[in-house]
């Protein structure tokens, strides 16, 4: 039997608290409770995975955007060249076209002016008046466009700019007229009389520049008509090819046609040296 050191109350072995004063007794045994610290989970892997997913989505979105821009630029370029073939750019609207297209949207007038200049340089204008032949420009347009072609070579795209590299092809009509005129001089002696030559030259100009009718052609003489001479030269002439660019970019907050290499259209219409 033992007594409480505080109040003297006797207590049995194994008692942990005094039954009177609640004093902890010397033979009390305590079992400490161990606390297990919580493990701290790192959030870095989740963060890295999230960033990786966002980067992949961003790259895929940007790649998709560039593909859409390239596709649209190709389509707009095809529309532009269809307008060139139709000799009418009005569907684009003057405000959407760069120079020189916006400055001279009347393509037929521009081609007619180029042809007038060529005929004047070759000394043909006065001869046409003497022969009583009016130049039929619609016929010239048809001949020019029948040999005109284009192809898209490459498209370079960034987030705010698209450059289309393309080529246009056609024969050089100024050179065709010059070479044919030289051929005329060498064939004059083949005609049996001045009247035959005069009739032949009238037929040629009428066929190429006028109403397209030929009269008095010598079928059995073995002499080529002047029209044959021209058509033979044109059929043998290799088309000239010019490479240039069509550039699209952001203008006033939207995609627009920024610039076009004028040489592409000059060559497309058969006047590469103009």
What's the whole-number mean pLDDT along residues 162-176? 90
Which pair of tokens denotes residue 261? 């290499």
Q: What mean pLDDT is predicted for residues 57-84?
A: 89
Is the domain spanning 56-172+237-268 CATH 3.10.450? The answer is: yes
Whether 76 and 166 have beta carbons less than 8 Å apart is answered as no
Q: With the CA atoms of 148, 171, 116 and 245 taken in that order, what torsion angle do they form, in degrees rounded to the nearest 10?
A: 60
Residue with tokens 């039997």, as numbered in its chain: 1
Q: Which residue has the tokens 């370029």?
A: 77
d(CA 105, CA 66): 31
Nearest to 258 by CA among 83, 91, 101, 82: 101
pTM for this predicted structure: 0.66
The angle, 0 to 180 degrees and rounded to 10, between the axes of the packed helices 194-209 and 226-236 is 50
Tokens of 218: 């010598």
| Number of Cβ within a 10 Å radius of residue 164 | 22
**Structure-derived torsion over alpha carbons of residues 137, 141, 142, 146, reported in degrees to the nearest 10:** 150
Residue 156's beta-bridge partner residues?
Answer: 163
Q: What is the pLDDT of residue 176?
A: 75
Question: What is the model's pLDDT at position 267?
Answer: 92
Condensed to tens digits (0 to 9), the pLDDT of residues 15-47 reads 777 777 777 776 554 455 555 555 666 666 777
Percent above pLDDT 90 for the chain: 20
pLDDT at 71 over 80: yes
Q: Find out whether 264 and 242 touch, Cβ atoms under 8 Å.
A: yes
Q: Are 241 and 267 in contact (CB under 8 A)?
A: yes
Predicted pLDDT of residue 215: 47
Check whether 194 has a pLDDT greater than 70: no
| H or E stretch at 203 | helix 194-209
Please report the pLDDT score of residue 252 as a whole number. Answer: 83
What is d(CA 147, CA 240) in angstroms, rounded to the nearest whole number?
11
């Amino acid at each position: 039997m033992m007594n409480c050191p505080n109040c003297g109350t006797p207590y049995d072995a194994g008692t942990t608290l005094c039954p009177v004063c609640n004093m902890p007794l010397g033979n009390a045994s305590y079992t400490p409770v161990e606390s297990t610290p919580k493990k701290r989970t790192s959030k870095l892997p989740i963060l890295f995975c999230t960033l990786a997913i966002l980067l992949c989505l961003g790259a895929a979105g940007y790649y998709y955007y560039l593909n859409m821009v390239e596709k649209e630029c190709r389509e707009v370029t095809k529309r532009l060249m269809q307008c060139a073939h139709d000799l009418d750019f009005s569907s684009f609207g003057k405000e959407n076209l760069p120079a020189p297209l916006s400055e001279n949207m009347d393509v037929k007038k521009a081609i007619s002016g180029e042809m007038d200049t060529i005929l004047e340089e070759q000394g043909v204008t006065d001869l046409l008046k003497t022969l009583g032949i009016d130049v039929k420009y619609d016929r010239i347009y048809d001949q020019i466009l029948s040999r005109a072609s284009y192809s898209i070579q490459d498209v370079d795209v960034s987030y705010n700019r698209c450059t289309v590299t393309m080529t246009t092809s056609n024969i050089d009509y100024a050179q065709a007229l010059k070479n044919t005129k030289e051929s005329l001089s060498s064939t004059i002696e083949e005609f049996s009389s001045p009247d035959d030559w005069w009739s032949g030259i009238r037929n040629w100009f009428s066929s190429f520049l006028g109403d397209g009718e030929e009269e008095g052609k010598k079928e059995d003489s073995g002499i080529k008509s002047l029209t044959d001479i021209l058509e033979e030269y044109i059929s043998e002439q290799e088309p000239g090819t010019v490479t240039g660019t069509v550039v699209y970019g952001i203008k006033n907050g939207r995609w627009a046609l920024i610039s076009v290499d004028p040489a592409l259209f000059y060559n497309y219409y058969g006047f590469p040296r103009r």
